[in-house]
């Protein structure tokens, strides 16, 4: 299973940046009837996104439509174990999506409420932060 990562980036390495504040964009349902919304902040690796996607799609048994609303754009570099200080920044190990409270991670449509709830419950167990199930106010529209 290959982790999700960008095909190409403008810069190979990036600074840590800030994870403060709530999600300004991507905090409402845009495509599906049901969604999984983060309640806390943290990094979400490409492997975690893929693990959650596999869990949801297996539970749905090829029914409904799934949207993944997050993508790991941020490179995380790491130096090898027991290496002396200095000598620059280490090589890129993996990529993460920076998740803030309120960000919608996944969306579902075309499945009953109970199946969607259970699929997102199973996916939530694979993620490093707390999430909640959200539903569109008018399912008909």
The pLDDT of residue 34? 95
Nearest to 70 by CA among 16, 117, 123: 123
Taking only the tens place, the pLDDT of each residue in 11-64 is: 999 999 888 999 998 899 999 999 999 999 999 999 999 999 999 999 999 899
Residue 141 has pLDDT above 60, yes or no: no
The pLDDT of residue 137? 82
Sole residue written with tokens 């969607």: 116
Q: What is the CA radius of gyration of the chain?
A: 17
- CA 48 from centre of chain: 7
Please give the residue range of the domain that contains residue 65: 43-77+92-135
Into how many domains does the chain fold? 1
In a domain, 103, yes or no: yes
In a domain, 85, yes or no: no
The pLDDT of residue 1? 58
Q: How far apart are CA 106 and CA 129, in angstroms?
A: 14
In a domain, 37, yes or no: no
Query: Quick one: tokens of 123?
Result: 């996916």
In a domain, 29, yes or no: no
Q: Which residues contact 86 (CB under 8 A, 6 or more apart)?
A: none
Taking only the tens place, the pLDDT of each residue in 75-93 is: 999 999 999 999 999 999 9
The CATH number that applies at residue 50 is: 3.90.1170.10
pLDDT band at 103 (very low <50, low <70, confident <90, very high): very high
In a domain, 107, yes or no: yes
In a domain, 62, yes or no: yes
In a domain, 12, yes or no: no
- As a whole number, the mean pLDDT across the chain is 91
Residue 140 has pLDDT above 80, yes or no: no
- CA 28 from centre of chain: 15
Please give the order of strands across the beta sheet that includes 65-68: 65-68, 104-109, 34-38, 131-135
In a domain, 27, yes or no: no
């Amino acid at each position: 299973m290959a982790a999700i990562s960008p095909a190409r980036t403008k810069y190979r390495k990036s600074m840590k940046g800030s994870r403060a504040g709530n999600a300004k964009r991507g905090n409402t349902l845009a495509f599906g009837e049901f969604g999984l919304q983060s309640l806390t902040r943290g990094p979400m690796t490409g492997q975690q996104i893929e693990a959650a996607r596999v869990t949801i799609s297996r539970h749905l048994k090829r029914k409904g439509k799934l949207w993944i609303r997050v993508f790991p754009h941020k490179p995380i570099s790491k130096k090898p174990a027991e290496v002396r200080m200095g000598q620059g920044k280490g090589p890129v190990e993996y990529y993460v999506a920076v998740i803030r409270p309120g960000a919608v991670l996944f969306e579902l449509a075309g499945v009953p409420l109970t199946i969607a709830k259970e699929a997102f419950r199973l996916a939530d167990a694979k993620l490093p932060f707390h999430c909640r199930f959200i539903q569109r106010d008018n399912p008909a529209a």
